[in-house]
Amino acid sequence: MKNIYNKKYAESWIKNYESKKDVNRVKNLEPFIKKKINDLKPASKILDVGCGWGMVAKFLKQSHHYYGLDIPKTFLDYIKKIYPHPNLHLKFGKLPDKVDVENSYFDLVIASMVLHVLPSFKKSINLLLKKTKPGGRVIIVDFRDSLDLSYVFTNVIQNDKKAIKGNFLSYSGEKMKAEVYYHREKEIEKFLKQKQLKFKKKYLGIAFVSYEITKD
């Protein structure tokens, strides 16, 4: 599926966010992100890859330095309008290789609900770590293994062990083309352990799992 991350895709997700009907994100994901931002020291530098409609930007403190990257310009324009901030840096970017920011620079790097749009996750995690300063953290959030996504997809063109592709139906009733690649928790954890990375795993409600990785 080509060119699905466009203006229509962004507008659909913005409508879903504004509806407040996406209960899993509202009750589980947003409070988790808010706490991680609140725990940061003043003047911390944050990289948000796949920033979307601004779930991270929503909780910024005035002294924070925020770098948000995504594909649709519609997302970036929305963040500028809804969450104005003196240290807001927004630009095009995407994993696994178009993240044009300084290396070893960020106190916190976030990739929330991003890895599942990629056929492979290893190169992306390596890049996220590359952008993180020593002692900094990478937070990855994605769908947990136990979540059955088939009930929110229609006009399915692929549904196997590798991925599900078709039309995604959001909580607000928005339909959009989508593809989700299955990266199993054991696969991610095996990769992190092989790299001898320290990480904490946490389930966020019935839908999401998070990995908080500390860079030595």
Task: State the pLDDT at residue 2.
Answer: 79
Looking at residue 134, its amino acid is: P
Look at residue 1 and tell me whether its pLDDT is greater than 80.
no
pTM recorded for the entire structure: 0.97
Alpha-carbon torsion, ordered 33, 65, 96, 159, to 10 deg: 30
Which of the pair, 145 or 2, is modelled with greater confidence? 145
Look at residue 3 and tell me whether its pLDDT is greater than 90.
no
Q: Six-digit token pair at 198?
A: 């320290």
* Percent residues over pLDDT 90 in the chain: 99
> How far is the C-alpha of 122 from the C-alpha of 28, rounded, in Å?
26
Q: Six-digit token pair at 23?
A: 């209960």
> How far is the C-alpha of 47 from the C-alpha of 99, rounded, in Å?
10
The stretch 186-212 carries a mean pLDDT of: 98
In the chain, domain spans? 7-146+183-214
Name the CATH topology of 7-146+183-214: Rossmann fold (3.40.50)
> pLDDT (tens digit, 9 = 90+) per residue, 26-66?
999 999 999 999 999 999 999 999 999 999 999 999 999 99
Rounded to the nearest integer, the mean pLDDT of the chain is 97
> pLDDT (tens digit, 9 = 90+) per residue, 85-144?
999 999 999 999 999 999 999 999 999 999 999 999 999 999 999 999 999 999 999 999
Task: State the pLDDT at residue 191.
Answer: 98
